[in-house]
Chain A
């Protein structure tokens, strides 16, 4: 572990404990916590002992998001009181420190310890609003999934240690254990529950930086045998496709802004998994182009997702702080009250849909290249897989646009739909700063890809020049685009037309009210018609009747498919089983003794006769 990393972890520890110790003074506690966290992240960023390695890459993600979250938190949490602030910073810093340590540990056992600390500390953060029933429930689900993952990882470790020669089983255990954290489909159950309830900086940190650590774990610790890599590639590709498309389909009907973003995280993790899966398959079928592009695409997508989803979650937090609600149907028109938050949110949403010039596009482009070259070169099953990847990426991109359009449109555009939105407080500059920071990075990053020297690395494979030129064209296009937009903005400012107070564009209606706007449910109605059966969407529609209809309404609600089909029955089964076992916990000492004696006698008999 490098000097700067050690300094960073120490800073985090001292900052957290210090914030807890200062007690009553809220300003002091939050300042201490935030400053220590930001300094620690900067110090870890400076550490370039293993630059361009996999752990370094994940540390980069953690540090960038960590800085933004730490800057956002004091504003978001203001008014909580010094003691609660102290607790928050203690656990926040602990989470950050353990995340950094996770990327440092080389052995599996220390890694597991840090991993568990990370899960437990972040559990405390999710449960920060513990006086609310929903937050308690969400944090409970989070804790359960964390520990379930932890147990699977421990089993994998036990298998490794006992030298059982079953690399496939071990890999499946690792995949399930890390997959829970990474939000792979079916295992993603905690994401849509924990993210909406956690404080916004925490959901930003968890969604942007902690979830990718699941992938880090799998890549770092899976046994590298050809057979296992093959399995891993196929599973990643299929699960990724399922997660990407399914996640974004579920994001669409969500009414809670942060829940929508959480499902979008499932989608993006799916895309990254598809990239990594293609990379592994390319390695197995010895197709270097597919392999390099797949891996780089998956990893880049993780970085982009971190920047963009960080911005989005922080923006959602600002919205909650200023209006008091996250329901998209109760928001609207916030662009006027919180212009900078709105701008960042729109830009980040555009990026996360993977629209061409922006940040999220670059990663997806590489995955597309991988998939297309797979189609061009491969035959048989791999051809089909590449087709599936391309189709899924395209479909996902389309639905993602719809989902994010719903989020942006519902929250920031149009007229305020309720008193929450009408009485929204103006944004705080301290909360805007981290969002602007992340958005700026996200805007500049694709420019840098065109000039980065590490692009030469691609030229070791025969398609390197194709990728490099694609990136260069993208950055040239971006430069022109930014130039034009900047020029227009400058001209407008010169012309002094910036400060006009006008009504929202009304499509020709004389006096638009919020009742004429599309609601969230209305936006997803076509989707609910088509996929309702699969998704388990429930539509409650009241059609207008008669010549002068008095009222009509449409409500679309969803229930998570993975939870409904898989987790609820599983947990019900577990609980039935525990009920049955519970009979043994009679409370009678005699019965306990009897059970123990019987068990001992059986073990003795077994040892004696076997």
Chain B
């Protein structure tokens, strides 16, 4: 089944790439949902089926991931997108072509690094470590380089997917417990963001996180005077 896991990882990599260069939010949310499906199926494909059926924990994490990441969270994101009436991420802080270049550079570095320095257990797919690192990076990059609060929520989800892919691929001993914890965190985060995005939108008439710098200490006075 290793080859199937490799295919899934390749899909993950491609969705990362697509996420970084697309400006349509709906498309981004769909990509994240797709990633959720991939991540949900991933632990089952990594499992060495010749040893027998995997433990119930693995099934649990697969079902939970599928439910939360592929259905629930994208749905919430979509709802807040419609509520806030934003469709596109215009004027990102780092342009799409530049994002592409950076992404390619990071991909190269990640593959080189993992090939040279990272010593992994035998049974893990070769692609696992570099793709997980790239996914983590993509999530962080989206958080840093995009303006809309919604995109940042997407960034957190992608980031989480990267961590999951890493943990699952390594078949870490406590991976599942940690995984459930992080999943809960991200769930709460997206939930809160969904609510706050709506409220921020109502108060500021847009959800550009960029504009929130007016709320820092320095400019509080000026903001008040305005």
Contact A589-B152, Cβ < 8 Å, known A597-B140, A597-B144: yes
Which residues from chain B contact A590 at a C-beta distance below 8 Å?
Answer: 93, 143-145, 147, 209-210
From B143, which residue of chain A is reached at the shortest CB distance?
A593
Which residues from chain A contact B147 at a C-beta distance below 8 Å?
Answer: 590
* In the A-B complex, the 9 residue pairs with the closest CB atoms: A587-B213, A587-B216, A589-B209, A590-B144, A593-B144, A594-B144, A588-B213, A597-B140, A593-B143
> Which B209-223 residues sit within 8 Å CB-CB of chain A?
209-210, 212-219
Residues B140 and A593 in contact, CB atoms below 8 Å apart: yes
Interface residue? B117 (CB, 8 A): yes
> Which A574-601 residues sit within 8 Å CB-CB of chain B?
582, 585-590, 593-594, 597
A587 to B219, CA, bound (A): 9
Which residues from chain B contact A585 at a C-beta distance below 8 Å?
Answer: 216-218
A586 to B215, CA, bound (A): 10
Which residues from chain A contact B93 at a C-beta distance below 8 Å?
Answer: 590
From B213, which residue of chain A is reached at the shortest CB distance?
A587
Residues B210 and A588 in contact, CB atoms below 8 Å apart: yes
A390 to B183, CA, bound (A): 74
Residues B117 and A608 in contact, CB atoms below 8 Å apart: yes
14 pairs, A vs B, C-beta closer than 8 Å: A582-B218, A585-B216, A586-B216, A587-B212, A587-B215, A587-B216, A587-B219, A588-B213, A589-B209, A590-B143, A590-B145, A590-B209, A593-B140, A594-B144
Which residues from chain A contact B140 at a C-beta distance below 8 Å?
Answer: 593, 597
B contact residues vs A (CB 8 Å cutoff) = 93, 117, 140, 143-145, 147, 152, 209-210, 212-219
Which residues from chain B contact A586 at a C-beta distance below 8 Å?
Answer: 213, 216
A114 to B93, CA, bound (A): 50
13 additional A-B pairs beyond A587-B213, A590-B143, A590-B145, beta carbons within 8 Å, are A585-B216, A585-B217, A586-B213, A587-B212, A587-B216, A587-B219, A588-B209, A588-B210, A589-B212, A590-B93, A590-B147, A590-B209, A593-B144
A586 to B216, CA, bound (A): 8
Chain B min CB distance to A607 (Å): 13
Which residues from chain A contact B143 at a C-beta distance below 8 Å?
Answer: 590, 593
A contact residues vs B (CB 8 Å cutoff) = 582, 585-590, 593-594, 597, 608
Chain B min CB distance to A585 (Å): 6
From A591, which residue of chain B is reached at the shortest CB distance?
B144
From A608, which residue of chain B is reached at the shortest CB distance?
B117
Chain A min CB distance to B52 (Å): 36
Chain B min CB distance to A596 (Å): 9
Centre residue among A582, A585, A593, A608 by max chain B CB count within 10 A: A593
Which residues from chain A contact B209 at a C-beta distance below 8 Å?
Answer: 588-590
A272 to B217, CA, bound (A): 46
Which residues from chain A contact B219 at a C-beta distance below 8 Å?
Answer: 587
Chain A min CB distance to B33 (Å): 24
A380 to B74, CA, bound (A): 83
From B136, which residue of chain A is reached at the shortest CB distance?
A597
Which residues from chain B contact A587 at a C-beta distance below 8 Å?
Answer: 212-216, 218-219
From B141, which residue of chain A is reached at the shortest CB distance?
A597
Which residues from chain A contact B213 at a C-beta distance below 8 Å?
Answer: 586-588
From B93, which residue of chain A is reached at the shortest CB distance?
A590
A345 to B93, CA, bound (A): 71
Which residues from chain A contact B216 at a C-beta distance below 8 Å?
Answer: 585-587
A587 to B210, CA, bound (A): 8
Chain B min CB distance to A594 (Å): 5
From A594, which residue of chain B is reached at the shortest CB distance?
B144
From A585, which residue of chain B is reached at the shortest CB distance?
B216
Which residues from chain B contact A597 at a C-beta distance below 8 Å?
Answer: 140, 144
A586 to B218, CA, bound (A): 9
A590 to B213, CA, bound (A): 10
A363 to B178, CA, bound (A): 67
Chain B min CB distance to A381 (Å): 53
